[in-house]
Amino acid sequence: MYIKNQKYKSDFALAFVGFDCDAGRCFVAVGNAEQINVYSSVFHGCKQEIIENSTNFAIFKTICMLNEKDK
């Protein structure tokens, strides 16, 4: 179910829906008015590297969804 945010008038959302720094597993949700996609990936390295790589992963998936919307 899609509920438009009236306060911020947003139609797009990005969220970390799960994160286990010890195992390096990250779940990212990217959504808009038509769909919500949840992605999972595992990153290796120290805690800071995992955080940085998972953030880059989330940004990449967001850009991919925005590019799909423009097609």
pLDDT along the chain (71 residues), means of 10: 58 78 81 86 86 89 83 61
* Pairs from 11-17 (Cβ < 8 Å, separation ≥ 24): 12/66, 14/58, 14/62, 16/54, 16/58
CA 53 to chain centre: 12
Angle at 16 between CA 71 and CA 30, to 5 degrees: 15
pLDDT at residue 56, as a whole number: 92
pLDDT at residue 24, as a whole number: 75
